Amino acid sequence: MSFWQLYGEAVKTAFGFFWKSGWAFVLGYWVSAMIQAFVPKGRLTPYMGKANVTSVSLATLFGAASSSCSFAALAAARALVLKGVNFVAAIAFMFASTNLVIELGILILIFLGWQFLAAEVIGGLILIGISSVLIKLTYPKRWLKEARERVEDQADDEESDFDWRRRIRSREGWNLVGHSFVSDWKMVWEEILIGFTVAGFVAVLVPTGVWESIFLIGARGELPDWLIALENAAIAPFVAAMTFIGSMGNIPIATVLNANGVLFAGIMGFIYSDLMVPPLVMINAKYYGWRVALYIAAVMYVSIVATALILNYLFGALGIIPESGRKVEDVAQFSFDYTFYMNLVFIGVAAGLFWLHRRHHREAHMDHKMKEGIGPKRIIALLFLAVLLVGLVVFFVTK
């Protein structure tokens, strides 16, 4: 194939990823918005000040009821630390808010299958348990005390305590659902656009031999299985770090890894590593200082590798490890199947939620025309959008 044909095919694959997951994104963020609007959080945080099972459990529930945006997870965790939440619980919150949320689960089910969804949920809990134990064993009291003192301003001033029964019956409550839905999309659309575009190009342009070299696929039979599984789990976080993509954007790339024969341990290690990408480590450094940021990253890395290996052997013992080789073409396809009709339905749902968002701004006398600054991620996302639009023209011209 010529360069232009490959370019067009890569863009078609990226659009196929978007098409397959469109309704799932709307459904996931709709449910997430209702949880955010109707679950009072102020009653939870006072019980999260110790490094015990209660704090970690509440932080996990709190995280699962939050947005899946990796950047928002860090800001929310910072706000929890300001409210006196223990660092052990704050880390549990970060893992839960990027691995146990409904929208991510739906996406994994569509792209990778039920075994990966089950692994994501079970592994998310194992991941939180391991990281909690590691922090309790290695707790650097002076570092974390200084980090808490470093945080100066409240990161989140939302109303955190209310009567949920009254709110769920009110006009204002459902306006808040629409507002939360649109706010979440504003936070994640850039990483989703970048991640899905990268996945389309990686699926078409990166030769299978590259993945075979990185993940020792060709060495099976020559090296012990346990060593290959360890290597896959250990290298996956670094591969994830190189993509610079958050939790929602890396699922299509995980699908590409699965299609190229990467072991289950490697794929799960990749999925769990969204909080270790360099921009997020830098944000933690801004919040807490470099020592604590690198300490958090180290705890996450050890926890991710250990969790990926535990899942690999647990699912192996149960005989439910999914076979690699699910074709990208089977996922990123356009056809008049359930996806077509679900997308039509949820386009209407998204329009209704956007209308509620506008009504929230109007009735709260908020200026919804307020312009946001254009940061580096926004510029990259807009460039990727231009690449997709040009590539769509190229695809139809070279078809």
Q: What is the pLDDT of residue 284?
A: 82
- Tell me the C-alpha to C-alpha distance, in Å, between residue 32 and each of 11, 18, 102, 107, 172: 30, 20, 7, 14, 17
**Residue whose tokens read 């709260």:** 364
User: Torsion angle, CA of 252/258/262/265, rounded to 10 degrees?
Assistant: 80
**Residue whose tokens read 């409210």:** 83
Cα separation, 126 vs 304, in Å, equals 9
Enumerate the H helices of the chain as residue ranges: 3-38, 53-64, 70-82, 87-99, 102-111, 114-138, 141-150, 164-168, 171-205, 208-214, 225-243, 251-259, 264-271, 278-288, 290-318, 328-331, 338-363, 376-398
Q: Tens of pLDDT along the chain (399 residues)?
A: 788 888 998 898 888 878 877 887 788 778 778 877 887 766 667 777 787 888 888 888 888 877 656 766 777 777 777 777 888 888 888 888 888 878 788 888 888 888 899 999 999 999 999 999 999 899 888 888 888 777 644 344 455 567 778 989 999 899 999 998 898 788 778 877 887 888 788 878 888 888 889 998 888 888 898 999 999 999 999 988 876 566 666 788 888 888 888 899 999 999 998 888 777 788 788 778 888 889 999 999 999 999 999 999 999 999 888 775 556 666 656 766 777 888 899 999 999 999 999 999 888 766 555 555 677 778 888 999 999 999 989 888 887
Q: What is the pLDDT of residue 155?
A: 41
Assigned domain for 6 exists: no
Q: Taking phi first (over 0 means left), then psi (-120 to 50 degrees means alpha), and beta for anything else, what does residue 244 get?
A: left
As given in the structure block, the two tokens for residue 219 are: 């060495």
Amino acid at 266: G
Q: What is the pLDDT of residue 154?
A: 38
Number of domains in the chain: 1
Q: Taking phi first (over 0 means left), then psi (-120 to 50 degrees means alpha), and beta for anything else, what does residue 319 get?
A: left
Assigned domain for 5 exists: no
CA 139, 141, 144: angle at the middle one, nearest 5?
Answer: 95
DSSP class of residue 336 equals: S
Q: Which of 25, 309, 327 is nearest to 191 (CA)?
A: 25
Q: Which of 327, 346, 299 is nearest to 132 (CA)?
A: 299
Assigned domain for 269 exists: yes
Q: If DSSP codes are grouped into helix, strand and coil, which group holds residue 220?
A: strand
Q: What is the pLDDT of residue 227?
A: 93
Assigned domain for 2 exists: no
Q: Which of 123, 134, 124, 139 is nearest to 93 (CA)?
A: 124
Q: What is the pLDDT of residue 156?
A: 44
| DSSP letters spanning 127-155 | HHHHHHHHHHHH--HHHHHHHHHH--S-S
Cα separation, 399 vs 389, in Å, equals 16
Which residue range(s) make up the domain with 390?
12-398
Q: If DSSP codes are grouped into helix, strand and coil, which group holds residue 214?
A: helix
Assigned domain for 4 exists: no
